[in-house]
Amino acid sequence: MIYSRLMFVLAIASLGSAAAEEPAALTAVPFEKVHIDDRFWNPKIETNRTATIEANLHQCQVTGRIKNFAVAGKLTAGKHEGMLYNDSDVYKMIEGIAYALASRRDPQLERQTDAIIDQIAVAQQPDGYLDTYYTLVEPQKRWVNIQHGHELYCAGHLIEAAIAYQQATGKDKLLQVAQRLADHIDAVFGPDKRHDASGHEEIELALVKLWRATGERRYLDLARFFLDTRGSGQGRRLFGEYAQDHKPVRQQREVTGHAVRAMYLYAAMADVAATTGDRELLDSLDSIWRDVVDRKMYVTGGIGPSASNEGFTVPYDLPNDSAYAETCAAIGMALWNHRLLLMTGDGKYADVLEREVYNGLLSGVSLSGDRFFYVNPLGSKGGHHRVPWFDCSCCPTNIVRYIPGMGERAYATRGNELWTVLYMGGTADVKLDGGPLKVTQATRYPWDGHIELKLHPASEMTFDLKLRVPGWCHSATVSINGQKASLPEAKHGYLTVSRTWRGGDRVTLDLAMPVERVYADPHVKADVGRVALQRGPMVYCLEGTDNDGHVRNLCLPREAELTSVFQPDLLGGVAVLRGDALRVTEDDEGRHTEPVAFQAVPYFAWDNRAPGEMVVWLPEKPELAELPGQVGEQVGDVRVSASHCWTNDTLAALADGRLPAASSDQNLPRMSWWPHRGGDEWVAYRFEQPRKISSTAVYWFDDTGVGQCRLPESWRLLWLDGKEWKPVVLKAGQAYTTEPDRLNHVDFAPVTTRGLRLEIKLAPAFSAGILEWQTQSP
């Protein structure tokens, strides 16, 4: 695992072995059969679930997303507005509305949605084709730009929305539209038709859903065709690693490329594997899952550290301040892991699902329900905030469909077994082989590990109750009707209670929830010497607003005691963590510390109050603390600081040992002084112990044609002599060069120092950046 105790431990069992031990896949109890308490984990979430729907509905109206359908259907005059994939935002919003209506019918909201569906239906073309951008803007290019056109992606979201709306309301108008579009796609693509894969995966999992909803086998066959075609160069051009189209899916063993695309692909692979028992798909999924969870996932569940490809780079590349960790990617990770749980019955997948739901996914929406994160960093200097909407608003509309549908992640069944998945108060109507069963759950989870289930079978019934014990929990007890139960040891994260149940039987599960310290794998350079805090499934962060304005200059000694207190009036009601940290200051005599009390809040709730600093990973020693006004990151035993670093870049890139392909390489982390232009800047290394150094080399970043970073006008190197910076003495024939696409190397008279500093003069009107800065001893 990439993160270790004191935290959670995931069972290391393959998909293949787990599937072999279990006779059949689980079935999620449908969302329309589960009713969650208004509180859920935070009363504001339920209150503002409605606000989130209203915010998305309003934005889809004012940005022309809904009007596009009316224009395409010739109900009104106009032209297409917005991005070519904006249809998908409307579909995701309708899916979220469907889940909300299943929980609580709202006649006015339903009428509004029916009216939107009427416009969608009119926009459909006679042959079943439906995409407002290509209908209105480029009708001659239907199915031409499969790699970037998003037609299949939009179609997939329409199918998902249509199925959900029919299940929630019984109305099938949108489902008929979706089927006609699916039939059209089936007429265009297939083994004896056009060979191509989707540029942005989504259609594959949607077609499996459509097969399950209609019983039409050809939809499943078409989903398999799209999977089988991906990575195959027969009769088509491959889209590359970015779209997971570099090799056949059954041969893929590592996660690559765009994070959301990858998650939707793996969800579809899981769907097909669960249906067909395809061993090669299972083996591929198992290897990829290990790669993601063991080497490429943040402690918050966030995935995809890089902004340049909105996705993955190399193992253990997990910078904090510059983490991309797109909200949609967290949702995709949750969707994939829920499927893996249902396929295998292994609780390790529910652990990841839970980590996403309570942390890296939920952070994507404000407590007010109307502001959103696209990017979810694990550290901020105070400049990162949620906004009402984006030009590309896939994340707000994904949030609006995921949270209202939480009910289907509460329970699952298999034969005469009832499985708990995520704990949440509410009721569920379940059907087992032995008959119907009503389940009532009462809990304050995740703030409290006490969970009470009341079971009401229609008549006396014998069945197995499978109680999930999360991987982070090291002690769990079960009582039945007030009597402590002696049960076999948990298997794959589940305790089994087998008995004959009567109406009103009460089962109590108590999960110990101490505050835990989390440590990253030492390969994660950004987190060396640092600790994160977790209690139950919640990852915590420190915000400046709770801690005298600054948190990046705090360190948390390993021996510090930590406590948890529930605060009902804070952030809608959350458990906070408290303890004593050390605040670090610095003067000419060095660094000093003083004890200070601190408070940490759940990560999902940050940036809902006064703006300010935030950190998830706290240094355990003063040397790693960042002082106010200082821009710096610790990389191993090197402290990297600079006059400025753009918020989406990272100083850790300078010392990560990764050489770019060229100065224009957008696939590696970098640091830049953007948006500073012209003038003088600097970057420095500070070493924990003196080093003897005689040469240095700099690989400059230049994004000509894309951005405003150019090679600098000039630079020089200084070394720290006591408290004074002095220029190094270059050897004969050496010069400070600014050449592109290579390391610019200089040799100088050896110095023994605890610090080096590059001073850079930017080119007039341009910024600059560095991809790698190396030093060498004699």
pLDDT, average across residues 432-448: 96
The answer to whether 698 and 715 have CB atoms below 8 angstroms apart is: yes
Query: Can you tell me the distance from the alpha carbon of 279 to that of 354, in angstroms, rounded to the nearest whole number?
Result: 27
Which band of pLDDT confidence, cut at 50, 70 and 90, is reported for residue 20? very low
Residue 42: its pLDDT value, please? 61
pTM score, whole prediction: 0.86
Query: Can you tell me the distance from the alpha carbon of 723 to that of 708, in angstroms, rounded to the nearest whole number?
Result: 35
Query: Can you tell me the distance from the alpha carbon of 300 to that of 306, in angstroms, rounded to the nearest whole number?
Result: 16
User: Is the confidence at residue 8, as pLDDT, over 50?
Assistant: no
More confident residue, 18 or 83: 83
pLDDT tens figures, 93-139? 999 999 999 988 999 999 999 999 999 999 999 999 999 999 999 99
Beta strands at 590-602 and 450-457: parallel, antiparallel or unpaired: unpaired
**% of the chain surpassing 90 pLDDT:** 86
The answer to whether 769 and 673 have CB atoms below 8 angstroms apart is: yes
pLDDT, average across residues 518-526: 95
Query: Can you tell me the distance from the alpha carbon of 353 to that of 195, in angstroms, rounded to the nearest whole number?
Result: 34
Q: Note the Cα 516 to chain centre separation in Å.
A: 22
Residue 639: its pLDDT value, please? 86
Among residues 154, 328, 394, 709, which one is catalytic? Answer: 394
Residues with Cβ < 8 Å from 531, sequence gap 6 or more? 517, 518, 519, 556, 558, 617, 618, 620
- Specify whether 626 is catalytic: no
User: Is the confidence at residue 589, as pLDDT, over 80?
Assistant: no
User: Is the confidence at residue 683, as pLDDT, over 80?
Assistant: yes
Residue 684's nearest CA partner among 759, 626, 757, 627 is 757
Residue 14: its pLDDT value, please? 41
Residue 216: its pLDDT value, please? 96
Residue 636: its pLDDT value, please? 79
pLDDT, average across residues 233-257: 95
pLDDT, average across residues 72-101: 96
Residue 40: its pLDDT value, please? 59
Query: Can you tell me the distance from the alpha carbon of 680 to that of 730, in angstroms, rounded to the nearest whole number?
Result: 21
Lowest mean pLDDT of 203-217, 365-379, 581-595, name the range: 581-595
pLDDT tens figures, 42-59? 655 555 678 889 999 999
Q: Where are the beta strands (DSSP E) in 350-503?
A: 379-380, 411-414, 417-420, 426-432, 435-443, 450-457, 461-468, 476-480, 483-484, 494-501
Question: In sequence order, what DSSP letters do the residues of 584-603 get, joined into one string?
Answer: EEEETTEEEEEEEEEEEEEG
**% of the chain surpassing 70 pLDDT:** 95
Among residues 110, 201, 310, 626, which one is catalytic? Answer: 310
Residue 394 structure tokens: 């896939």
pLDDT, average across residues 360-389: 94
User: Is the confidence at residue 608, as pLDDT, over 50?
Assistant: yes
Q: What is the separation, in whole angstroms, between the first and last Cα of the chain? A: 38
pLDDT tens figures, 247-283? 999 999 999 999 999 999 999 999 999 999 999 999 9
User: Is the confidence at residue 388, as pLDDT, over 60?
Assistant: yes
Work out the widest C-alpha separation in the chain, in whole angstroms: 94
User: Is the confidence at residue 19, as pLDDT, over 60?
Assistant: no
User: Is the confidence at residue 297, as pLDDT, over 90?
Assistant: yes
User: Is the confidence at residue 1, as pLDDT, over 90?
Assistant: no
Residue 23 structure tokens: 């006779």
Which band of pLDDT confidence, cut at 50, 70 and 90, is reported for residue 172? very high
Residue 633: its pLDDT value, please? 78
pLDDT tens figures, 721-733? 998 999 999 999 9
pLDDT, average across residues 144-156: 97
pLDDT, average across residues 71-91: 96
* Average predicted confidence (pLDDT) for the chain: 93
Q: 446: cis peptide before it, omega within 30°?
A: yes
- Specify whether 310 is catalytic: yes
Query: Can you tell me the distance from the alpha carbon of 214 to that of 203, in angstroms, rounded to the nearest whole number?
Result: 16
Query: Can you tell me the distance from the alpha carbon of 571 to that of 646, in angstroms, rounded to the nearest whole number?
Result: 30
3-class SS of residue 288: helix
pLDDT, average across residues 745-753: 96
